[in-house]
Structure 1
Amino acid sequence: MIWTKFTRSMTFVTVRICHYGSLAKLRPHIRSVSHRSSYLDSRTHSIRPLCCSSPLLAGHASITLTVGLQPRRTITTDRLSWYESVADSTPVYLTEQLLVSAQQMTGLPWWASIMCTTLALRTAITLPLGIYQSIIIAKVEALQKEIDVLARQLRFEISVKAKEKGWSEKTCRFHFKKNLKRIVSELYVRDNCHPFKASLLIWVQLPMWVCLSLALRNLSLGMGHVPLEAGLATGGILWFPDLTLTDSTWIMPVSLGLINLLITEIFALRQLEPSKFQKYVTNFIRGMSLVMIPIAATVPSSMCLYWLSSSCVGLAHNLLLRSPRFRGVCRIPPTRSDSETPYKDIAAAFVAKYIK
């Protein structure tokens, strides 16, 4: 009896050889093991049953090959793609544990557990970062008046210096940009509001979104590391009772696209004088919102439900950050775009732009 154990994947292979004759030269060799009922013979490049009898042992011996498998992934020697490597990474594994633990502790059905977990994570992590982002943006906007004054003074000093030393126009522009950049950097350091800090939200939100999406994808396809007591196949509701299947009605994918477009338009309406770059970014986000509709229609309903829940929570947070009372509680500095009636202004601007 030969036992072969793979400690990482918890795979056990048992080979039993019952001798009826002299088989001193017989040396069974296992090329590969699969979790299915067949294996790939690397010599002939063909798929063969995992439990079979060898013609060499006909009339002499019988071989029984028993495989007990715990993992959900196939053992392979091929190098994983970058997508499979990310889906099989430690952060995704920890996210799977988080989702399963949350569902087991709350006792909620999977559809409700996904929505509540999304709300909890976005409120506990991304909302504080959104407040911090608003504070940085408000401080940077408040510095614009001071920067304009200092820029005029610098331009005058450069013109005086140019007359003294006979600088060309190109040299004047060089010294003006160089010194203005230094002055602006000093102001950002003084007020602790470097614009890069405003991008902290996206650097946290995007990896969290990817990990949760891949974790739900693994659990839906039965490829997760964590065993499920109550499967996602019966954890849905209404028109999506099976969360492992796609939403054939396209209700959630279309709703996802509309919510993302609404968030984009609310952000665009806030920009009083958008630059060309801001217009390009806004149009790019609009395009991505539309592209997400067919993508969401091809993934399991659990992933689509998470994306829709995340977008709805993001919309609610964006509207909450417009509230003057909430901004005052969070001590967000006032800006030019602030209003005492922000929601009425958004509705009026939306009607004026898209309806009238």
Structure 2
Amino acid sequence: MWFRVTGTVTTWPLRFCCHGNQVAGKTQVRCISHGVYTRGHYAHPLVPKPVLFATPLAARHLELQPCRTIGSARPGWYESIADSGPVHLMEQLLVFGQQTTGLPWWASIICTTLALRTAVTLPLAVYQTIIIAKVEALQKEIAELARQLSYEISVKAREKGWSEKTCRYHFKKNLRRIVSELYVRDNCHPFKASLLIWVQLPMWVFLSLSLRNLSMGIGHVPAGLQEELAAGGALWFSNLTLPDSTWIIPVSLGLVNLLITEIFALRQLDASKFQKYVTNFIRGISLAMIPLAAAVPSSMALYWLSSSCVGLGHNLLLRSPRFRALCRIPPTRLDSDTPYRDISAAFVAKYIKLKT
């Protein structure tokens, strides 16, 4: 049975093939000079078979099937990450921690978060602070070397008749070389200070997705584990597989993140425009996390809140003079013998007195 739309050279027929109680429609291309072929495969002329249409066509199920499969449906990037090896490893870690300690799931999530951030991210945060302190200590030496280099370039310019553009080129080139040598000498390249974010962010993502899989029973989650999470909450978030309808955890998460941002911003006495833009961007992210945390299972929101609280504690710990001396962090110009009192005074001066 053929339905034809005839063009100048080719025709596009629609072939209906019946298999059992189904009718399959297949598109074919008929070429004047090459006969009938289907996407490169030669097809013989159709021979009508009346027995195939013993029942009315309208009563049959019409299904269009391609002659060959162009591509198979593949999972998106989000599903691929959620079903990756690191996420499954985090799932096993969470289950092992809960079964080993025997704690309810809400307490196990908090303890696992505290253990991971203390064992992994705190040493990296100390290392980051050391690198930043070393780079800051080099600024005085870099400034002195830059003045000497400027004098040498001016002498060479008078001898060789360099233009101002040539002088700037040689100055920047030699200054970059000098700074790189200083970074190598003190082993404090600024890129090493970003090591913390390259470890902390993937760990945060993998743990979040593992809790999502456990809460929704996705993937290789053992049977009955979702029910344990549903009964493993406390107080107003008794069901960890459902979002927090009271918004207490999401709002608390946003407030803690804003507090961390403001404590960091209070140390920037002479912040540049770029630093102000970054601070405002982080404030926006902190606020955007509130509705996001209200839409995910309470187990994820509880982990985010626990991680932020531990991060706040680590930031305050890194301000302690005793802890900095214990970790042998070089002194900086922003160090203080009373850091917590200074933070409170700066917070009051900036926000409370400003309102009054």
* 1:232 alignment counterpart: 229
**Pair 1:291-2:288 in alignment:** yes
Please, which of 323, 336, 349 is the counterpart of residue 339 of structure 1? 336
1:269 is displaced (CA, Å) by 1.0
Deviates more, 1:182-191 or 1:282-291: 282-291
Q: Deviations over 1:101-137 (max 9, x none)?
A: 1111111100000000000000000000000011000
Provide the secondary structure at the position in 2 that maps to 1:143: helix
Q: 1:314 to 1:228 in 2, by over 3 A?
A: farther
Superposed CA deviations along residues 169-193 of structure 1, whole A, max 9, x for unmatched, are: 2111111111111100000000000
C-alpha separation between the residues in 2 aligned to 1:229 and 1:122? 29
Matches within 5 A, 1:237-316: 237-316=234-313
Q: Does residue 1:188 correspond to 2:201, yes or no?
A: no
CA contact (8 A) 1:96 1:224 kept: no
Where do residues 37-76 of structure 1 align in structure 2 (5 Å cutoff)? none
TM normalised by structure 1 equals 0.78
1:258 and 1:322 map into 2 onto residues whose CA distance is 21
Q: 1:321 aligns with which of 318, 333, 339?
A: 318
Alignment-derived partner of residue 75 in structure 2: 80
Could you tell me which runs of 5 or more consecutive residues in structure 2 were left unpaired when the two chains were aligned. 1-18, 26-71
Q: Assess if the C-alpha contact under 8 Å between 2:130 and 2:329 holds in 1.
A: yes
State percent identity of aligned pairs: 80
Measured in 1, the distance between the counterparts of 2:282 and 2:328 equals: 29
Q: Alpha-carbon deviations, 1:259-283, whole Å to 9, x = none?
A: 0111111111112322222222111
2:14 corresponds in structure 1 to none
User: Does 2:108 align with 1:131?
Assistant: no
Match of 1:98 in 2: 93
The whole-number CA distance in structure 1 between the counterparts of 2:119 and 2:243 is: 29
CA shift, 1:300, in A, is 0.5
Out of 150, 154, 161, the position equivalent to 2:149 is 154
In angstroms, what is the RMSD of aligned CA positions?
1.7
Change (3 A) 1:324 1:141: same
Distance 1:176 1:42 in 2: 78
Whether contact under 8 Å (1:244, 1:301) holds in the other structure is: yes
Cα pair 2:213 2:221 within 8 Å, conserved? no
Residue 210 of structure 1: which of 175, 183, 205 is its match? 205
- Cα contact 1:240–1:247 (8 A) shared by 2: yes
Q: Which letter does structure 2 place at the counterpart of 1:149?
A: E
Deviation sequence 1:34-81 (CA, Å, 0-9, x none): xxxxxxx9979xxxxxxxxxxxxxxxxxxxxxxxxxxxxxxxx62000
| Aligned-partner Cα distance in 1 for 2:141–2:121 | 31
Alignment partner, residue 8 of structure 2: none
User: Secondary structure in 2 aligned to 1:78?
Assistant: coil
Q: CA-to-partner distance for each residue in 1:173-222, whole Å, 9 max, x for gaps?
A: 11111111110000000000000000000000000000000000011111
Structure 2 CA distance for aligned equivalents of residues 197 and 144 of structure 1: 17
Gaps of 5+ in 1: 1-26, 29-40, 45-76
**Counterparts of 1:169 and 1:281, CA distance in 2:** 35
Contact preservation (8 Å) 1:133, 1:200: yes
CA distances 1:271-317 after superposition (whole Å, capped 9, x unpaired)? 23222222221111111111111111110000000000000000000
Task: Identify the residue that residue 48 of structure 1 maps to in structure 2.
Answer: none
Q: Tell me the distance in 2 between the aligned counterparts of 1:43 and 1:143.
A: 75
Greater CA drift, 270-279 or 119-128: 270-279
2:170 to 163, 175, 183: 175
Mapped contact 1:97–1:226 kept (Cα < 8 A): no
Alpha-carbon distance change, 306 to 43 in structure 1, aligned in 2, over 3 angstroms: farther
Q: 1:43 and 1:189 mapped to 2: Cα distance?
A: 70
What are the superposed Cα offsets for residues 235-280 of structure 1, whole Å, 9 maximum, x if unpaired?
A: 1101110001001111111110110111111111112322222222
The letter of the residue matching 1:264 is T
| C-alpha contact (below 8 Å) 1:215/1:224 kept by paired residues | no
The 1:79–1:332 alpha-carbon spacing in structure 2 relative to 1, beyond 3 Å, is same
